[in-house]
Amino acid sequence: MKFRELSEYLRRLESTSSRIEITKILAELFKKTKASEIDKTIYLILGILAPSFRGVVFNLAEKMMLRVVAKAYSSDLDEVKKLYRKTGDIGDLAYELGKSKSKGKGNLSVDVVYKRLVDIAQDSGEKSQERKVEKTAELLGELDPASAKFIARIPVGRLRLGFSDKTIIDALSWALSGDKSKRPQIEKAYQVIPDVGLLAKKIKEQGIDTATTKVKPVIGIPVLPMLAQRIKSPTEMIKKMGKVFVEPKFDGLRVLIHFKRKESGDEIHAFTRNLNNVYQMFPELGEIGEYIAATELILDTEAVGLDPNLIKLVDFQTTMKRRRKYDIENKLKEIPLRFQVFDVIYKDGKNYMGTPYHERRKILAKTIKKNNLIIIDEAILTDDPKVIKSEHKRNVKAGLEGVIVKKYDTAYIPGRTGWRWVKMKQGEEAVGKLADTLDCVVMGYSAGRGKRTLFGLGQFLVGVKDKDEFKTVTKVGTGLTDEQFRELNIRLNKIVVKEKPREYLVNKILEPDYWVEPEVVVEIAADEITKSPAHTAGLALRFPRLVKFRDDKSPQQATTLSEVKKLYKMQKR
């Protein structure tokens, strides 16, 4: 397929707000696309070059892209900047300049455009930025204006058409059967191999049944994590779950560890919940081969920071300082870690996701040797609500968040489904308070007044997920330290956009001064949830306050509207 043809589909998608129409347009596109290029097509329409765990990124800032556009169309940089201030969109800028100055015929194929973009993204070393500018400008110059419009947005992460992997899965089903009936089958495979481009390619090549059955975890590709539900009452937990394991809930960083023993050096990956590979955070994982009785292994763990002076656990925000790319060796000394192992997903060629949890714990015991780096979580087996309550109090007193209660015989099911895992941060006695915090997406912010003018923002608007849309639940202006106000302002300034993103549903009376791309996830606590005609979620948080930034979560992993509704019902009990 020529990229010019793909750009016409992108134009149609951009001008369509109906979810079902978007799905039908995508299905039409997928039917036309060959197996050899469908993966590349899907990545491009999502505005990426590969899933996040592959680590293929451009590192071309907005200022660099303005240089690219100026060079592509032989234009004066100052004039380009002036025009950009009017358009506010790098794609529209390329289109406007391209209409009068482009010589591109639009004959490049999707495959060629994709490969050239990957080559640009992977260029590194001395003077790589200059080469990236040169190559990207050359590519834009060879494209017709309509194609250049969409390609120019990709390096700066602005090709957002209002849908995610979930809509792609719906569209694949629609392309196969004319409805969403194949979605569960495709989604189940996606949970194990969360690479929607690769999955689509396999379906095209092998057919849906072969491509989606007997899918097992692969070293180097993160499985979507299993998540916990919320129940406040231990009595209700036992009623719904029966016999359970009660385990400590740490305030750490969820890490999926992949290990493969090799003669040339062990292959090790560490994936967060948002599927990013952050192995560079954890140099100490280089020695885990000594503590593992396996050739290949995937473990689910919690990285917990330790205070080396007081020999106690530190909080999540302190642990997350390990994410800095530089000065890792000093951080290694300042914030030593241990990994609390609580599940095994795969070992030596066998998929254990369908194995009952009590059996997986036995496998863990045989797999992890005694050491101080990776430690199997303690677990108490019970069917007595009083034990859950006492363990919760004991853990909170010890400085932990609470407990995780796990069904004795549950399989490892990605996502938050059924009463398999339940977290308890507050006790049964916490009537009238929320049973948990919410992970919300920052949608925009308003300028500060008084002292807050120094920070650049006074309050920010947050929302929760409802399928591919984000609906508002509150504005937050309290609970932040001066340092957090400044940090949030810096983060948001980098992702400000002129127009409201398509996936945002916001009441006009709540519109902020500045819109931002859906990138920053924050954990919010509140006293209660109330009904709200003003907020598009239909519910609002009362007395909201920032708990912490959730850099380990993507916007697609934010709290869902259905979860907020469950919390609303829970507080009434």
Q: Which residues are catalytic?
A: 249
Q: Is 505 helix (H, G, I), strand (E, B) or coil?
A: strand
Q: From CA 148, how far away is CA 134, in angstroms rounded?
A: 15
Q: From CA 433, how far away is CA 429, in angstroms rounded?
A: 10
Q: Could you tell me if 459 and 472 are in contact, meaning their C-beta atoms sit under 8 angstroms apart?
A: no
Angle at 161 (CA atoms; ends 178, 56), nearest 5 degrees: 105
Closest by alpha carbon to 201, among 40, 54, 6, 39? 39
**Based on C-alpha coordinates, what's the Rg of the chain?**
25
Q: From CA 446, how far away is CA 461, in angstroms rounded?
A: 8
In the DSSP assignment, the letter for residue 277 is: B
Hey, what are 334's tokens? 């300042």
Q: From CA 143, how far away is CA 271, in angstroms rounded?
A: 37
Q: From CA 109, how far away is CA 66, in angstroms rounded?
A: 25
In the DSSP assignment, the letter for residue 253 is: E
CA quadruple 201, 202, 207, 211: dihedral positive or negative? negative
- Phi, psi at residue 543, to the nearest 5°? 55, 60
Hey, what are 571's tokens? 């507080």
- DSSP bridge pairs for 475: 461
| Count of helix runs (H) and strand runs (E) in the chain | 20, 22
Q: From CA 449, how far away is CA 445, in angstroms rounded?
A: 13
Q: Could you tell me if 62 and 156 are in contact, meaning their C-beta atoms sit under 8 angstroms apart?
A: yes
Hey, what are 81's tokens? 């900047």
